[in-house]
Amino acid sequence: MGTAVPGSVRQLSLQGRALAADRALLDRISTAERVADVLRTRIAEGFFPPGTRLAEDAIGSGLGVSRNTLREAFQLLTHERLLTHELNRGVFVRVLTVSDVADLYRVRKLVECAAVRGIDTPPHGAKRVADAVVEGEQAKKQLDWQGLGTANLHFHQALTALAGSPRVDELMRRIFAELRLVFHLMADPRRFHEPYLATNREILGRIDNGDGPGAEQLLAAYLDKAQQQLVDAYAQRTTDG
Amino acid sequence: MGTAVPGSVRQLSLQGRALAADRALLDRISTAERVADVLRTRIAEGFFPPGTRLAEDAIGSGLGVSRNTLREAFQLLTHERLLTHELNRGVFVRVLTVSDVADLYRVRKLVECAAVRGIDTPPHGAKRVADAVVEGEQAKKQLDWQGLGTANLHFHQALTALAGSPRVDELMRRIFAELRLVFHLMADPRRFHEPYLATNREILGRIDNGDGPGAEQLLAAYLDKAQQQLVDAYAQRTTDG
DNA sequence: GCATATTTGTCCGTATGTATA
DNA sequence: CTATACATACGGACAAATATG
């Protein structure tokens, strides 16, 4: 994308002024948020891998927005911990450390286990969990390993939703977004994500039976194992580099 | 501090351009963040009670900053959920609903109980908890009921720190900031905060003994009671209005 | 090591559109 | 219908730090 043909620039064109009338009626989203959306997607997809520098000039002119607006988008993503600011050097796609991974899993364990343990009977919101399991199984059928990873995140998002707390949901949305940064480390997404499909279905079964503690136990074991895999991947990467 | 003498306006002067050189060397905090600090304090102290409209013109000229800079500060505080944006009407100090209160306590119960339950032996970070208890006892001696409320928040912040997670700490900082908005509803801060001093010391005792579950039990009872008091205050307020 | 170019940091004024009294 | 205040985005000015030759 270094060679920006006129057409591709047009595709990303976010000229605010010209579309003001449309925007007022259709979407009330600010240009900065749309820019943030674009960058967020690029980051989640690994198009801008961790460590990439996002130059104001290049991105701004590429997207056809002013520096101010772009910086506003950067600010949003920095608050989401997807970018880091280095003074007078610019913004970079966040590079997570091993201790970041540890903290992410500390939070996941604390929140997800509590949400699963405290399910009411009959469990409300279990449908979303079931949907996510099906989504993962279909992704597997289609050999869509990237989609399998996404389905897995949806599964755990559905688990946290069992807590019934908007603030917890928001917290975990951010946690999972950070987690995506880490997943790009895994060389083989299939090997990483596929084994958990069976576990997910098992957890769902226990939830449906109202067995919170049982589900929690499986979940805790899963989280420990996944974290260990990521830590190992980090260690290997450090050795390689 | 509530009675603003003319001098206090000078104190708030934040002229950016003139002090650019100084600022570069001394503090790297942006004008927007300093404005946000001022407003945050005003809100926490109840100088701007929930529901207050913050007019751009009045605040901006009062602090000597441009509308752009002020809006940036507003944005920061909106992200912290201390202000709400109403389209084309302006920003207001957030008014929390009863269901907001319920959610705040849902999160507190989930996080604080988990943090206390999972203490290691000997408990790390118990010193901060002890310090907060002492802080509260001294505030009581000096009949400083506002200070007692602050000490109580410090106590619970120290409890959450037992989880040892930066991300959990940040989450709870925001939760407690929102909680301050609710506390302004309580007509008699002494009656609200004082009884918990004894409970706090008791919880500390169990933590020191490594009795996580015991501490958790006391804590859960406290949280339920406090929430109920706030809900009652809301009900009364609604009846009055 | 040094001078210069580039990039970022900060803040402002303004233009245009939109909602409300 | 007009006046007012807010919403959004742009471009510019200048300082400061970093990168470059």
Looking at the fold, whether A131 and A231 belong to one and the same domain comes out as yes
Q: Which residue from B79, B106, B111 is facing A110, i.e. has the nearest CB?
A: B111
Which of B12, B170, B182 shows the shortest CA–CA distance to B79?
B170
Cα A91 from Cα A72, distance rounded (Å): 12
What is the total residue count of chain A?
241
Q: Which of A50, A76, A93 is the last residue of a domain?
A: A93
Q: Which residue from A107, A111, A165 is facing B103, i.e. has the nearest CB?
A: A165
Looking at the fold, whether B77 and B154 belong to one and the same domain comes out as no
Whether B2 is in a domain gets the answer no
Looking at the fold, whether A118 and A50 belong to one and the same domain comes out as no
Answer yes or no: do A106 and B28 touch at CB < 8 A: no
Whether A223 is in a domain gets the answer yes
Whether A9 is in a domain gets the answer no
Looking at the fold, whether A137 and A116 belong to one and the same domain comes out as yes
Looking at the fold, whether A158 and A213 belong to one and the same domain comes out as yes
Rounded alpha-carbon distances, angstroms, from residue A133 to A140, A165, B22, B126? 11, 22, 58, 41
Beta pairing class for B90-93 and B53-54: antiparallel
Give the tokens for residue B151. Answer: 């000490």
Looking at the fold, whether A162 and A55 belong to one and the same domain comes out as no
Residue A104: helix, strand or coil by DSSP?
A: helix
- Domain CATH for A187: 1.20.120.530
Looking at the fold, whether B52 and B152 belong to one and the same domain comes out as no
CB atoms within 10 A of CB A138: 13
Looking at the fold, whether A107 and A208 belong to one and the same domain comes out as yes
Whether A6 is in a domain gets the answer no
Residues B113-168 pLDDT 10s? 999 999 987 778 899 999 999 999 999 999 999 899 999 999 999 999 999 999 99
Task: Please answer whether residues B153 and B189 qualify as being in contact, where contact means their C-beta atoms are separated by less than 8 angstroms.
Answer: no
Whether A180 is in a domain gets the answer yes
Residue B29: helix, strand or coil by DSSP?
A: coil
Whether A2 is in a domain gets the answer no
Answer yes or no: do B107 and A168 touch at CB < 8 A: yes
Which of A182, A172, A168, A186 shows the shortest CA–CA distance to A101?
A182
- What's the structural domain count of chain B? 2
What is chain B's percent helix, strand, coil content, to nearest 5? 70, 5, 25
Residues B73-106 pLDDT 10s? 888 888 889 998 877 778 889 989 999 999 999 9
Whether B72 is in a domain gets the answer yes
Looking at the fold, whether B68 and B125 belong to one and the same domain comes out as no
Whether A5 is in a domain gets the answer no
Task: Please answer whether residues B132 and B207 qualify as being in contact, where contact means their C-beta atoms are separated by less than 8 angstroms.
Answer: no
Task: Please answer whether residues A93 and A52 qualify as being in contact, where contact means their C-beta atoms are separated by less than 8 angstroms.
Answer: yes
Please give the pLDDT value at position A103.
97
Rounded alpha-carbon distances, angstroms, from residue A23 to A16, A19, A27, A29, A66? 8, 6, 5, 8, 18
Task: Please answer whether residues A59 and A92 qualify as being in contact, where contact means their C-beta atoms are separated by less than 8 angstroms.
Answer: no
Domain that holds residue B233: 98-240
Residues 19-58 of B with CB under 7 A from strand C: 20, 23, 28, 30-32
Instruction: Provide, as residue numbers in chain B, all residues whose Cβ is less than 8 Å from the Cβ of A163.
Output: 106, 110
Residues A2-52 pLDDT 10s? 222 222 232 333 433 333 333 333 446 889 999 999 999 999 988 999 999
Q: In the predicted model, is pLDDT for residue A73 greater than 50? A: yes
Higher pLDDT, residue B208 or B3: B208
Is residue A219 classed exposed, middle or buried when 0-12, 13-18 and 19+ CB atoms within 10 A define those classes? buried
Task: Please answer whether residues A212 and A118 qualify as being in contact, where contact means their C-beta atoms are separated by less than 8 angstroms.
Answer: yes
Smallest Cα–C1' distance to nucleotide C8: which residue has it? A88
- Domain CATH for B31: 1.10.10.10
Looking at the fold, whether B166 and B199 belong to one and the same domain comes out as yes
Looking at the fold, whether A114 and A68 belong to one and the same domain comes out as no
